[in-house]
Structure 1
Amino acid sequence: MAEGPWLTILGLGEDGPDGLPPASRAALDAAEVVMGPARHMALVPGTGTERVVWPVPFADGLPILEGFRGRPTVVLASGDPFWFGAGSVIAARLPAREWRALPGPSTASLAAARLGWPLDRVTCLGLHAGPLSRLAPHLAPGARLIVLLRDGAAVAELAAHLDAGGWGPSRLVVLEALGGPRERVTEASAATPPDHAVAAPVCAAIEVAGTGIALPRGTGLPDALFDSDGQITKAPMRALTLAALAPVPGETLWDIGGGSGSVAIEWLLRDPSLAAVSVERRADRAARIASNAARLGVDRLRVVEGTAPEALADLPAPQAVFVGGGLSDALVAALRAAAPAARLVANAVTLEGEATLARWHERLGGELLRIELARAAPLGGYRGWRAAYPVVQWSFRP
């Protein structure tokens, strides 16, 4: 095998090779193999001694690419291959010494340049392969978003989604084929999207306006945001629970006895790098958890239908565990064995649950709290305090 990388991941603009810097052009000219999507291959006709169109689904192309190991190979990608692109997937398969990347301007950079938007204060989302519900955590009056879309038809779907959610007045700028001879920029709104056929590749810039529901950044989201059959950790208690769980970017949560999924969903909303698994024994509640997660923009929540600890086999190791249902000595012992390094938070409202947590607190330490909440409510012609059941919370850090 020749010294140095055999693979170049090359960011290609809509103007094809004409817009490439010298190093990228030299890599393309020296390639024995050029591989990429059909649209990109059409932009570089006649290049390379062997031309391979990347298959669909994307994963099918990875073993084909690895078969060219040792031959100078170029993979074509859009703009910056590491901005919602193929670069990270390919790089994860190969040792660093075997590849190099020569990026071009990303779609986000080109869009921001057309709009005059400071990119460091814009939220960028890749929804070309994801549901529009992922917008939910980012929609608030005045917010600016740049969104990659699947194709031209997705523009109308995006506009309808925003309008239905109360964000119809939002400014919607549709940017087609940025950086090439087909470039077109169209000003519109979510309520009145462009009426012409939109060509791919396409992204949309959104300046949010309207009266839709903006998700607060704090913990303890309103209970009404969650579909529930009554099995839900209520907002004030949920805020205290999230504080005890103390999510740190990159961590994974096990949510045992998910109910409506509110704790796991709020965990995920804290940071896009967080992961969570919600374990729920009832099928109807498991389905409800998945529905709540998708609607609130965190469809990455993994829902496992089953009973702990049996359902915990083969799950990714957690850094935090929350027990919201099914509390018992056996369960706590099993969780300590399955995830000995994880932080553990458990809530109890029954005397039996309190006794369980008191025993584990005596055995392992940690913090034991008794939390009593009351809300003002009518009392005859006056007002009084209506108390909720007290909750005992045990939190333990190994």
Structure 2
Amino acid sequence: MYKVLVFAGTTEGYEVCRFLAAHQVQTMGFVATEYGSKSLMENEYLTVQTGRLDETAMEQIFAREEPEMVLDATHPYAAEVTINIRTACEKTQTLYYRVLREMGGHEEKAVYVESVQAAAEYLDRTQGNVLLTTGSKELAGFTGMKDYKERLYARVLSLPNVMQACAGLGFEGKHLIGMQGPFSRELNAAMLRQYHCKYLVTKDTGKAGGFQDKIDAALECDAIPVIIGRPLKEDGMSVKECKRFLMEHFSLTHQPHITLLGIGMGSSQTLTVQGKNSLDQADLLIGAKRMVDSVKRPGQDVFVEYRSQEIKDYIGKHPEYDNIVIVLSGDVGFYSGAKKLLDVMAESKIEVQCGISSVVYFMSKIGLSWDDAKIVSAHGRGCNLISHIRHEKKVFAILGTSDGVAVLARKLTGYDMGDVLLYVGENLSYDNEKIFVKPASELTEYVGDPLSVVCAVNENAITRPETHGIKDEEFIRGKAPMTKEEVRTVSLSKLCLAQDSICYDVGAGTGSLSIEMALRAHQGKVWAIEKKEDAVELIRLNKAKFVADNLEIVEGLAPEALTELPVPTHAFIGGSSGNLKEIVKLLIEKNPQVRIVINCITLETVSEALETAKEFGFEENEIVQLGAARSKAIGRYHMMMGENPIYIITLQKK
């Protein structure tokens, strides 16, 4: 017994039949002609019956098969067939549902008529050739026009019986075009130009019937579309609504084919062939507006969204879509949203298709290799570009604001790096693409497009130091105390910094340790907290000298000065002004796992540090006493001169 009987013969009917069979629902599809039967392939869940049925035959089949429902997906102009199906369902008490083709949109330049006769009457009052795309059954309605044999060009199916019937009506030679669709906009336009047509006649066959391609072609060729309205005003479901209904009715599992597609820069010219094929086959396109607008196909459904969870939820609520493409800018593996989407939709089967990344496209445009470039993104994320540019000869970065180039140029110029060349690319691959190169010093006021990238070329880049220990004499000195080189080296090793650490330097003095922390945690952030005005000025000078752009200076007394700062991963305390316990308390309130290194000179401070460690329950509690001595030349002899012994205490909870 068949659960569903589908009256097909249309694109919608074929689609519903295939959908049901794919979900293993026993289905019988009805088509009127052998031609229609070729569009459906029978299998264990789908049987195809060919031939026209009258109302009596339909009643007999419905009574015999006792289906759960009948779906009427016949052509919108097959009014008599629809009436027969509905009547047969009423008599056999069978559930009836109408599947309607979506109507085309209203076109202001078109002429709308109610019937073939009305179209013929309108055209008879005009001059110029006419391309008829209404099919062979309607041709007789146009034969009453004067000069119809010379003016009309009829496009019909290339079946022998159809061609013979058309010839019998007087359509012959070049005025009779035997072709099988679908017909693209380009092909429609070519035919209009070939036959110098001023009018194109079509029925409102909706998206599936190639309606929009006909209208677009006519408007492109300055031809007037003559649109014949539908004979019945019906209520029913679209194909998408029908699929959703069937999913719920039969409790079917929704398993769409989902593709994450990198679309390149945005222009269709940077799409891969694989990407174009995927877009052509998609029945739903998802992505940010700029991206979907650049690649969507006529009549394609679109969901404008870039947030992963919202995308997942939407797909789950719309089971009518079988082939879904989520478009992502550039390449899916290059600073893309693909990673989060794959995590959120881990239970779905997803195909990932690569695209052309902005770095590949841009570097080829400016003629530079990118295999030796540092590649980063400053778009919506923290990135210390200055540090990269100082230590790398070539840095590629994605920007994201209209003043991004100017901000970068001002910083470079402020750090005496104004001669760095900035290659700038905006709106890559689009018609308004802009690519140029200038020194940073000439771009400090530049305002460009947010959709931009930059490649900084610094011929004077210096190698990034791999170890601690900048010599004391390298720092700008004053009266403020400075943690000596040997002590800095051991203290920094105890901190165990990562490149993205968030650090405090409490009681920063000249800022020597702040500078070294900033150079080590070059993609993190360092806050130097200092209460003395002269010391704060020294930190500023040293920040500029060592290009420590990720170092922020806070003038004030701890712990109050720490209150509004971001959560630290590491903290160094070189001076506490008697507030050691309060400072440590605030640090562990911000981050219970913060790693703290304390330098103590006096035994009283050591005692206070140990008492604090015990009070707050630090499992790791290490004390190192460091006594360093340096040689001093006295005549032809060298004597070792001892520095004050330092206690280096490391605290961290497990």
Structure 1 length-normalised TM? 0.66
Q: Alignment partner for residue 488 of structure 2, among 238, 244, 251?
A: 238
2:310 counterpart of 1:64: yes
> What does residue 3 of structure 1 align with?
255
1:65 aligned partner, one-letter code: I
> What does residue 390 of structure 1 align with?
645
Kindly indicate whether the alpha-carbon contact (under 8 Å) linking 1:160 and 1:191 is maintained by their aligned counterparts in 2.
yes
Provide the aligned length of Structure 1 versus Structure 2.
378
Deviations 1:365-396 (A, max 9, x none): 8552223466989x9xxxx9997643211347
1:393 aligned partner, one-letter code: I
CA distance in 2, matches of 1:67, 1:228: 62
Q: CA, structure 1 residues 339+242, in 2 after alignment: closer, same or farther (shift >3 Å)? A: same
Q: Which is further off, 224-233 or 185-194?
A: 224-233
2:468 counterpart of 1:219: yes
Q: CA deviation at 1:149?
A: 2.3
Q: CA deviation at 1:44?
A: 2.0
Within 5 A, what are the aligned runs for 1:317-356? 322-326=572-576, 345-355=597-607
> What does residue 175 of structure 1 align with?
425
Tell me the secondary structure at the aligned position of residue 375 of structure 2.
strand
2:646 aligned partner, one-letter code: V
Tell me the secondary structure at the aligned position of residue 3 of structure 1.
coil
Within 5 A, what are the aligned runs for 1:146-165? 146-151=396-401, 153-165=403-415
Kindly indicate whether the alpha-carbon contact (under 8 Å) linking 1:32 and 1:48 is maintained by their aligned counterparts in 2.
no
Q: CA deviation at 1:325?
A: 4.7
CA distance in 2, matches of 1:18, 1:278: 44
CA distance in 2, matches of 1:337, 1:192: 46
Tell me the secondary structure at the aligned position of residue 97 of structure 1.
coil
2:284 counterpart of 1:32: yes
1:368 aligned partner, one-letter code: V
Tell me the secondary structure at the aligned position of residue 12 of structure 1.
coil
2:96 counterpart of 1:96: no
Kindly indicate whether the alpha-carbon contact (under 8 Å) linking 1:257 and 1:281 is maintained by their aligned counterparts in 2.
yes
Q: Alignment partner for residue 19 of structure 1, among 247, 271, 291?
A: 271
Kindly indicate whether the alpha-carbon contact (under 8 Å) linking 1:33 and 1:50 is maintained by their aligned counterparts in 2.
yes
> What does residue 371 of structure 1 align with?
627
1:77 aligned partner, one-letter code: L
Q: CA deviation at 1:220?
A: 4.2
> What does residue 119 of structure 1 align with?
370
Kindly indicate whether the alpha-carbon contact (under 8 Å) linking 2:518 and 2:526 is maintained by their aligned counterparts in 1.
no
Q: CA deviation at 1:278?
A: 6.4
Tell me the secondary structure at the aligned position of residue 96 of structure 1.
coil
Deviations 1:10-48 (A, max 9, x none): 34333227623325641563242422143x233124467
1:370 aligned partner, one-letter code: L
Q: CA deviation at 1:168?
A: 2.3
Kindly indicate whether the alpha-carbon contact (under 8 Å) linking 2:423 and 2:456 is maintained by their aligned counterparts in 1.
yes
CA distance in 2, matches of 1:350, 1:47: 78
Kindly indicate whether the alpha-carbon contact (under 8 Å) linking 1:219 and 1:242 is maintained by their aligned counterparts in 2.
yes
Q: CA, structure 1 residues 358+373, in 2 after alignment: closer, same or farther (shift >3 Å)? A: farther
Deviations 1:265-311 (A, max 9, x none): 744643567x67869798x9xx9999x79x7343799xxx9749x97
Kindly indicate whether the alpha-carbon contact (under 8 Å) linking 2:270 and 2:429 is maintained by their aligned counterparts in 1.
no
2:648 aligned partner, one-letter code: Q
CA distance in 2, matches of 1:256, 1:154: 30
Kindly indicate whether the alpha-carbon contact (under 8 Å) linking 2:332 and 2:354 is maintained by their aligned counterparts in 1.
yes
Q: CA deviation at 1:139?
A: 3.1
CA distance in 2, matches of 1:158, 1:186: 16
Q: CA deviation at 1:348?
A: 0.9
CA distance in 1, matches of 2:649, 2:418: 45
2:136 counterpart of 1:136: no
Task: Flag the structure with more relative contact order, 1 or 2, with Cα contacts below 8 A and sequence separation at least 6.
Answer: 1
CA distance in 1, matches of 2:396, 2:470: 26
Tell me the secondary structure at the aligned position of residue 26 of structure 1.
helix
1:20 aligned partner, one-letter code: T
Q: CA deviation at 1:115?
A: 4.2
1:68 aligned partner, one-letter code: Y
Kindly indicate whether the alpha-carbon contact (under 8 Å) linking 1:168 and 1:189 is maintained by their aligned counterparts in 2.
yes
Q: CA deviation at 1:104?
A: 1.2
Kindly indicate whether the alpha-carbon contact (under 8 Å) linking 2:518 and 2:548 is maintained by their aligned counterparts in 1.
no
Q: Alignment partner for residue 455 of structure 2, among 174, 185, 205?
A: 205
Deviations 1:97-127 (A, max 9, x none): 3355433122122233334544342112322
Kindly indicate whether the alpha-carbon contact (under 8 Å) linking 1:9 and 1:75 is maintained by their aligned counterparts in 2.
yes
CA distance in 2, matches of 1:227, 1:88: 48
Q: CA, structure 1 residues 279+160, in 2 after alignment: closer, same or farther (shift >3 Å)? A: closer
Structure 2 length-normalised TM? 0.44
Q: CA, structure 1 residues 52+298, in 2 after alignment: closer, same or farther (shift >3 Å)? A: farther
Q: CA deviation at 1:258?
A: 6.4
CA distance in 2, matches of 1:119, 1:394: 45
Q: Which is further off, 164-173 or 14-23?
A: 14-23
> What does residue 186 of structure 1 align with?
436
